[in-house]
């Protein structure tokens, strides 16, 4: 759901009138009042500034999708990492028959035993791990599992308390594409090890929000945004993904009987520092686009609805006032973009109180 904080006016559009009509005095361009209003008034200076189209959207802060880590070894779970553990390369995700199942970085999952004579990208992932962890002088880091590789594996197995076989059986290593984080324990100590063991997520919190397709131009990758946490803290964020898959729409109807809107998912990464231990929370994401630079702006309350239609400003000059018709643009944070004959920065406009 979005909370719109701008109103686009122009070309005769009067959508803003209903929202703020109570603040308007209806005047003719000649300055005569059509409705008496004796309420006190103050003045404000016309500003020159940049104005933008800005919207707030509801989003959810979390670690993202929870994936399932399933064990492949026959045996018994004797220990496992706790929720919140960061599964960096070299970390034991869990233990089977009191031996660690170790995490290594790699795009490909393990699908076979790794033994002398094996060749392929999975071997390359293993050898890269060994090379980065002090075993680089024992073999050539390529995609071939040689006897030199086996000797390095034996040394590594001895160092971490595994049986020194020189081979890596299917399921004794877990290749993960990124540094992950344990979200939950699925199994319990004593359970069979050839089933679901842990739930894990990326080790980076992000915000997801659903944009209606009509609003998709508000978000683009690498765009800076502001995320407001439940306690009001503002955190810097960046749009890192704008989905091209549309959800909703069609003939499905929501509970109100209205057609479900078509939406796309947007992912925003956030500055981790201010988040503390917050794992999941509703947040607000401010998206800003279509900046109008170097325009004139006045408080929204200064707008007057003119008898003949449109809007005007009451310009105060000394003891006299003049009504000037204006065209309006973006509304932002209590200000409205205005354009009219003779308007200039620093002029005083009447603002009814």
Q: Which CATH number is 209's domain given? A: 2.40.30.170
Do 93 and 181 lie in one domain? The reply is: yes
Instruction: Report d(CA 311, CA 62) in Å as an integer.
Output: 45
Measured between its terminal Cα atoms, the distance across the chain in Å is: 33
For position 32, which CATH number holds?
Answer: 2.40.420.20
**52-100 per-position pLDDT tens digit:** 777 899 999 999 999 999 999 999 999 999 999 999 999 999 999 999 9
**213-258 per-position pLDDT tens digit:** 878 888 889 999 999 999 999 999 999 999 988 887 655 555 555 6
Task: Report, as an integer, the average pLDDT of 262-275.
Answer: 91
Report CA 54 to chain centroid distance, whole Å.
16
What is the domain range of residue 34? 2-54+290-352
User: At which of 289, 304, 339 does a domain end?
Assistant: 289
Do 75 and 198 lie in one domain? The reply is: yes
Do 239 and 180 lie in one domain? The reply is: no
Looking at the 3D structure of the chain, how many domains does it have?
3
Select the more confidently predicted residue: 111 or 309.
111
For position 150, which CATH number holds?
Answer: 1.10.101.10
User: At which of 202, 237, 272 does a domain end?
Assistant: 202
Quote the pLDDT of residue 37: 46
Do 189 and 250 lie in one domain? The reply is: no
Quote the pLDDT of residue 17: 37
Give the list of residues 6+ apart from residue 216 with CB closer than 8 angstroms, or none: 242, 264
Q: What is the pTM of this model?
A: 0.66
Do 246 and 188 lie in one domain? The reply is: no
Q: What share of the chain is helix, strand, coil (3-state, %, to 5)?
A: 15, 45, 40
Where helices occur in the chain by DSSP H, the ranges are 15-20, 121-130, 147-160
Yes or no: say if 108 and 122 are a contact pair by the CB < 8 Å rule.
yes
Task: Report, as an integer, the average pLDDT of 315-340.
Answer: 90
User: At which of 154, 177, 202 does a domain end?
Assistant: 202
Instruction: Report d(CA 69, CA 61) in Å as an integer.
Output: 23
Residue 47 has φ and ψ, to the nearest 5°, of -100, 155
Do 182 and 228 lie in one domain? The reply is: no
Do 48 and 160 lie in one domain? The reply is: no
Q: Is the pLDDT of residue 40 over 90?
A: no
**165-210 per-position pLDDT tens digit:** 999 999 999 999 999 999 999 999 999 999 999 999 999 999 999 9
Lowest mean pLDDT among 33-47, 226-240, 309-323: 33-47
Q: What 3-state class would DSSP assign to 4?
A: strand
Q: Is the pLDDT of residue 126 over 80?
A: yes
Yes or no: say if 172 and 73 are a contact pair by the CB < 8 Å rule.
yes
């Amino acid at each position: 759901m979005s909370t719109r904080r701008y109103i686009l006016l122009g070309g005769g559009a009067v959508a803003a009138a209903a929202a703020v009509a109570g603040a308007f005095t209806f005047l003719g361009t000649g300055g005569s009042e059509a409705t008496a209003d004796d309420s006190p008034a103050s003045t404000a200076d016309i500003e020159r500034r940049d104005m933008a189209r800005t919207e707030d959207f509801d989003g959810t802060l979390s670690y993202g999708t929870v994936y399932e880590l399933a064990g492949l070894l026959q045996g018994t779970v004797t220990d496992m990492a706790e929720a919140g553990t960061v599964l960096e390369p070299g970390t034991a995700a869990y233990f089977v028959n009191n031996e660690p199942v170790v995490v290594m970085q790699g795009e490909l999952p393990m699908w076979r035993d790794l033994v002398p004579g094996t060749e392929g990208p999975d071997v390359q992932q293993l050898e890269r791990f060994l090379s980065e962890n002090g075993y680089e002088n024992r073999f050539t880091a390529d995609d071939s599992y040689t006897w030199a590789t086996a000797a390095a594996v034996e040394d590594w197995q001895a160092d971490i308390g595994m049986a020194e076989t020189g081979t890596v059986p299917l399921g004794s290593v877990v290749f993960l594409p990124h540094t992950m984080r344990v979200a939950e324990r699925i199994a319990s100590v004593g359970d069979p090890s050839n089933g679901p063991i842990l739930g894990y997520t990326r080790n980076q919190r992000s915000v997801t929000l659903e944009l209606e397709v009509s609003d998709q131009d508000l978000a683009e990758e690498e765009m800076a945004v502001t995320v407001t946490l439940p306690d009001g803290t503002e955190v810097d964020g960046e749009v890192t993904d704008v989905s091209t898959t549309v959800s909703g729409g069609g003939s499905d109807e929501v509970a109100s009987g209205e057609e479900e809107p078509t939406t796309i998912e947007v992912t925003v990464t956030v500055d981790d520092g201010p988040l503390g231990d917050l794992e999941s929370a509703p947040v607000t994401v401010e998206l800003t686009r279509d900046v109008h630079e170097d325009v004139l702006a006045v408080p929204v309350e200064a707008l007057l609805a003119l008898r003949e239609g449109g809007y005007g400003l009451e310009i105060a000059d000394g003891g006299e006032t003049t009504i000037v018709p204006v065209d309006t643009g973006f509304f932002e944070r209590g200000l409205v973009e205005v354009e009219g004959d003779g308007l200039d920065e620093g002029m005083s406009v009447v603002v009814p109180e």
